[in-house]
A and B are shown apart, each in its own frame.
Chain A
Amino acid sequence: MTDLMWRTGIILAILLLIATTWYLQHRRRHRTWAPRIPRMDPTDLPHAPDPLLLVVFTSRFCVACSEVLRTASTTAPEIPVVQLPMHENPHAPQRYGLVETPTLFLVDEQRRIRYTALGHVDEEELWLYVREAWDSSTLARTITAQRRAQ
């Protein structure tokens, strides 16, 4: 009986460890985070996006980084993707308040950060934000062109 009890205890400890890992991962995926500044610095992005750009902050040995780069390229193929490695941009964590890599920014032509994703990128959500930003930038350009024509 004692033997069965401590074996049960070990199994429960393993299940508890798995449940804790699940909880921490769940919390990590759904936490809200916002960049410290609303626009990307021109020193990080010398050329303004035309009209949108996906910026991915990566680091060495970051396994998820290549996956996020691939997801960003395939979800919105018309939008260029720029990779900013941490070791080449050591000021970025302080400047934008980055907490992990990969971190993805959707940046518009005024360098405003329209959408952010930490770690995991939800393809559907990214597509919705890209579409919304694209439509609003297209509309803004149309209105600007019309006003210039008048």
Chain B
Amino acid sequence: MTGTLLLVAFLFSGPVPMAVWAVPVLGAVLGAGALLGHRFNLWGLLFRHGLVPILRLGPPLNLKPAAPARFAMILGTLFLAVATVLLLVSTGTGILHWVGWALALMVAALALLAAITELCVGCEIYNLVLRLRTRRIPGD
């Protein structure tokens, strides 16, 4: 959802400059899920209380650790926060404006990538950092 909404906001931010406010709003939604946990993730709440009962979906087949996903969400929140500052400071044109949108589009692309291919770049970064910090790996 985050990725799709960011792309839509970018598409219409030309004719509708107010669409730029979608960036901080989506950043706040992402940040709430990252800081408070997946139970407070807006999209997760909509899915659990909206789609699950309507489509009568069962429990997930396998669960993954939450820490890498939350780290990825924190990264996304930071990127969107910086993008928000750049977009609000700029006057709708100029290098700061496009750098801000580039950061927002990066978050959108990675969010969509994670949703469609299950390839979470933030999670991979988390695991890599963990592996580099924990130098003593059995057998390595």
Contacts and interface: CB of A to CB of B under 8 A. Distances in A.
Contacts of A83: 138-140
A25 B119 contact: yes
B116 to A, nearest CB: 6
Interface string A1-36: 001100110110011011001100100000000000
Contact of A63 (B10, B13, B124, B138): B124
A148 interface: no
B15 A85 contact: no
A58 B10 contact: no
A63 B120 CA distance: 12
Contacts of B116: 18, 22
B28 interface: no
Given A3-B14, A14-B108, A17-B109, A61 B119 contact: no
Given A18-B113, A21-B119, A63-B127, A4 B11 contact: yes
Given A11-B10, A22-B116, A25-B117, A61 B15 contact: no
B11 A85 contact: no
A144 to B, nearest CB: 34
A85 B139 CA distance: 7
Contacts of B14: 3-4, 7
Q: Interface of chain A, helix or strand or loop or mixed?
A: helix
Interface residues of B, number: 23
Interface in A17-71: 17-18, 21-22, 25, 58, 60-61, 63, 66
Given A11-B7, A63-B131, A18 B139 contact: no
B72 interface: no
Q: Interface of chain B, helix or strand or loop or mixed?
A: helix
A22 B11 contact: no
Contacts of B139: 58, 83, 85
Given A61-B132, A66-B131, A85-B139, A4 B15 contact: yes
Contacts of B15: 3-4
B74 interface: no
B45 interface: no
Contact of B109 (A4, A18, A58, A85): A18
B128 A21 contact: no
A60 B108 CA distance: 30
Contacts of B117: 18, 21-22, 25
The 3 A-B residue pairs with the shortest CB-CB distance, nearest first, are A83-B139, A3-B14, A63-B127
23 contacts: A3-B15, A4-B14, A7-B11, A7-B13, A11-B7, A11-B10, A14-B105, A14-B109, A14-B112, A17-B109, A18-B109, A18-B113, A21-B119, A22-B117, A25-B117, A25-B119, A58-B139, A58-B140, A63-B124, A63-B128, A83-B138, A83-B139, A83-B140
